[in-house]
């Protein structure tokens, strides 16, 4: 009645349906898994020095040294492929109400690496403002992470930053 090919086809179709059902269930359940990440950032030192920068002319560059202490191991469940972690600086100026700059980032691929302890973290990227001057505004520093699951939607999170610190005035040379 049914030859081998028809049976194989039926089995394959059913297997595909079941697989997608399971993957869909995993994707739906993942956001509800509990997690308790924590991080603390303390700013050790900030210097602001002025250099010529592309077409902006004289721009103020901020050089930051931070201490980073973070425990993101709880974000690693069986459905986590990797974490993208970055230190984020947020501040407000007169002309621009939202300014967000990533200072340092790292990709974490295993639970052991998720215990981050870096002292003397320097900003990896240029910290320049679009208005060429920081004008000594307050900036808050927080840790931002992106969770990349094996199956499911990409999610992200951020620590609440209670460490707000002012930019110092321009200094003449790098210490």
Residue 113 Cβ, how far from other proteins at the closest point, in Å? 13
User: Which residues here bind other proteins, judged by CB under 8 A?
Assistant: 27, 54-55, 82, 84, 86, 88, 94-102, 105, 107, 109, 125, 129-130, 144, 146, 148, 152-154, 156
Of the pair 20, 171, the CB lying nearest other proteins is at 20
**Burial tier of 53 (Cβ tally within 10 Å: 0-12, 13-18, 19+):** middle
- Residue 160 CA, chain-centre distance (Å), reads 13
Residue with tokens 């990533």: 102
Of the pair 95, 172, the CB lying nearest other proteins is at 95
Residue 68 Cβ, how far from other proteins at the closest point, in Å? 16
Residue 99 Cβ, how far from other proteins at the closest point, in Å? 5
Residue 137: CB atoms within 10 Å: 14
């Amino acid at each position: 009645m049914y030859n081998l090919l028809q049976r194989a086809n039926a089995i394959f179709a059913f297997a595909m349906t079941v697989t997608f059902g399971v993957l869909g269930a995993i994707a739906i359940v993942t956001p509800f898994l509990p997690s308790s990440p924590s991080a603390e950032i303390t700013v050790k030192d900030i210097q602001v020095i002025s250099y010529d920068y592309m077409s902006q002319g004289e721009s103020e560059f901020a050089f930051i040294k931070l201490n980073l202490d973070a425990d993101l191991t709880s974000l690693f469940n069986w459905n986590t492929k990797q974490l993208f972690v970055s230190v984020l600086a947020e501040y407000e100026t007169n002309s621009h109400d939202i300014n967000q700059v990533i200072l340092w980032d790292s990709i974490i691929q295993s639970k052991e690496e998720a215990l981050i302890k870096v002292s003397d973290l320097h900003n990896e990227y240029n910290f320049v403002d679009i208005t060429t001057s920081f004008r000594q505004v307050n900036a808050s520093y927080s840790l931002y992470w992106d969770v990349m699951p094996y199956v499911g939607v990409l999610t992200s999170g951020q620590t609440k930053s209670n460490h707000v610190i002012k930019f110092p005035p321009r200094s003449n040379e790098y210490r």
